[in-house]
Structure 1
Amino acid sequence: MEVHYRIRKPIRLEARFRIAGFTVLLGESGVGKTTLLKALAGLLPAEGHPFSGLPPERRPVGYLPQDLALFPHMTAWENVAFPLKGRNRKERALALLERVGLLEHAHKRPGQLSGGQKQRVALARALARKPELLLLDEPTSALDPLTRGQVLSELVDLLRREGLPALAVSHDPVLAGMADWLAVLGRKGVLQEGPLEEVMAAPARVEVARLLGYENLFPVRVVEGGVEREGVRLRLPLPPWAKPGGEAWLGIRATEVLVVRQDRPPPPENVLEGRLERLHLEGLAYRGLFRGPLSLEILLPRHVQERLRLQPDQPLRVALKPRYLHLMPGEAEE
């Protein structure tokens, strides 16, 4: 499904992108993600396609707002039955709850349900309209951080089983990492889109890299066979647009900064020597700061740290393998 919308109020925005399977539109706060979603649902005036000119009630979409908009005084099945017309509303609502795995909770009110369960009630209510497209506004915002990953995985798996195209807008890289198709929205429109793996592996602009969670971003000068930053030369394959003497941005994920073990020979290139300034537990990994010719955030899986037993203020060597170095045009920064 191709989307092309022009919006004048409450902000000026023109966005053109594809929806393919579970699609995430990633962007920071204030760029117009929710505005675009409401325009697609027919809740704000806009020009474009699909659904051009149709009133909200005639658009074949299911819309899940951030707060899910469940009626607190109604049970789960009553919430799902609310948009249904005709006979056997309760039976049809129960069947929808069964599809989303919540039949046993049909008689509970929203206050008795977890965040993930409320999300599935809202999904069942949206499915009652037999939509051609599902719209989700910041679906991670109301979820417990400890269960967010599991709840999102279940939601995305359910949408794929239903075969229902969905567009989720979010600023959350965790949700973006579950997409089939990823589009990145900036203040002037869509900056980049494509299959998840392609966009994650090769952000086209530094603004995109920041949104995707690249912790290490540096302006660099292009040299023969690589780049230079503050006297440090790093070798990497140069894309066709990168010419010696030009300016660019270099991105390195914290997980892609490799610690060189003392008992093994270092890689042949891009090895930096310095010290480990800090190290602390973060979830199931250890986050640290390497201070050397470059300052780099590093992220070590717990099992790696348990083997290396690194300590703050110890000498450290790190390697930046060329395949983990991502180069972006210098004019990407705004």
Structure 2
Amino acid sequence: MRLDASERGVFPIAPTPFHADGRIDVDSIDRLTDFYAENGATGLTVLGVMGEAGKLDQGEALDVARRFIVRAEGLPVIVGVSAPGFAAMASLARSAMDAGAAGVMIAPPSTLRTDDQIVGYYAQAAEAIGADVPFVIQDYPLTFSVVMTPGVIRRIVNDNPACMMLKHEDWPGLEKISALRGFEADGTMRHIAILCGNGGLFLDFETERGADGAMTGYAFPDMLADVVRLAAAGERDAAHDLFDAHLPLLRYEQQPGIGLAVRKYVMARRGLIASPAQRKPGGALGKRAVAEVEYLLGRLARHDPRAALAPV
């Protein structure tokens, strides 16, 4: 199973479940993967920023990737392989592909400043991992401080046949999606899949601009799958109504610093993972924040029964 440019739907960014003492919780990996497969995911993405990839050593990262890949049999799994150097990137990429990954995701280092540097970096990365390895561009300037114009993305896509997908996380970014689809329409760029991140904050309109779906980690990935499905079916109002009901919780989860703590808390409350623990260093929710999240869940439950959880 290899990633290709026709991918669409929802590839949730999976968190890495941990026990309270920092050990990897493999049983929760299995439970979470089963949930994704049974609730509308068309693929998975592991070892992303919200997967706490930077807190794993090389062996642990590969073990986590393998566990998700084996459990997700039938679903394509993208593995984040971003690293300071190409040796580590290539090693993880090749090992992940040998384990059955569908492709890899590569983020640019924050040291890149010019268009030529960005294009050159992706050419070198593609060479390092192997020309036969499908890869995803991660465009997330809010975190990586690297601004990729539509023209730069077009150059990367056209120069690298193995580039199959863009993880679009620019903000604001709706015009970028329109520009890229415009390049396809005028024949100056081949088609690639575009899946969007940023917690899904703009998914309702991103799909209307030409995005193929979502690649993010909101605590209700099943809602994201429903929104993408409704949008594809032309049920615009239904898609927006469902999205709007989740927007207050989605916005709360998007807070820098505590966003992952919120996401893991809700996923643990839903029974998707056993513990909301992060590996240190990591944030935690205070009592007031927990109360606010519970309040938002209660309000959401009026519109979506999936948020009607047992009292704590």
Shorter-chain TM-score tier: 0.3 to 0.5
- Which structure: greater helix fraction? 2
Whose relative contact order is higher, 1 or 2, with alpha carbons under 8 Å and at least 6 apart?
Answer: 2
Bigger-Rg structure (1/2): 1
Q: TM-score, normalised by structure 1?
A: 0.36
